[in-house]
Structure 1
Amino acid sequence: MKEATLSAAPGSTSGKQQAADHPYVGMWVTADNYIRHELRPDGRYDEARGRRRSAYQGRYWIVGDHIGYVDDTGFTADGDFRDGVLYHAGMVLYREER
């Protein structure tokens, strides 16, 4: 099982850092490119929606193929990676080619 904690989960004492080459770090986008979801190697994310850059920002953590989020206002969400696709909050995001 892949395990990475890129940012400690709420209530967690884990401080493990994962290298920037973790398979899930990078840009994830919807098929229409409207939502652009950047998972940064420092455990932070930045989500753009349409022309609105940085619509949502916060931290995330990954355990196996599950991702948890808490944005800077305290809102929480989660998602799962399956077969190279990120399923998050009713959205389907694909890895953007580098």
Structure 2
Amino acid sequence: MSTHANDAADTTDSIAAEPQSHPYLGMWVTGDGRIRQELLPTGRYDEARGTRRSAYQGRYRVTGTQIDYWDDTGFTAEGTFADDDTLHHGGMIFYREKR
């Protein structure tokens, strides 16, 4: 996750998660299945890493194809949806989980 110095005032403590309505809701998984990130309609996300459930949690906002994350521990990150089923985030590629 990358931090942004200019986002100091835009923290999870100061701004509540906003309900989200976009085509990217649901579970996103790395190709090896090690990292799973669920984008919830509440504007929150929950990320599991390996066997560690809820390793990272926080809020997020989607604007167009850009996603911005504010982790509950204070880190910020961003990503880009390359298409409806592919997310580039943190140097990794996530794929929409098909149900």
- Taking the aligned partners of 2:82 and 2:51, their CA distance within structure 1 comes to 28
Q: Deviations over 1:30-70 (max 9, x none)?
A: 01110000000000000000000000000000000000001
- RMSD across aligned C-alpha pairs, in angstroms? 1.8
Matched residues, percent identical? 62
Q: How far apart are the structure 2 equivalents of 1:52 and 1:17?
A: 26
| Cα distance in 2 between the residues matched to 1:26 and 1:59 | 14
Q: Which runs of 5+ in 2 are unaligned?
A: 1-9
TM-score (norm 2): 0.79
Q: Provide the rounded CA distance (Å) in 1 between the counterparts of 2:51 and 2:18.
A: 34
Deviation at 1:16?
A: 6.4
Task: Using structure 1 for the length normalisation, give the TM-score.
Answer: 0.79
Q: Which runs of 4+ in 1 moved over 6 A?
A: none
Gaps of 5+ in 1: 1-9
8 Å CA contact retained: 2:18, 2:42: no
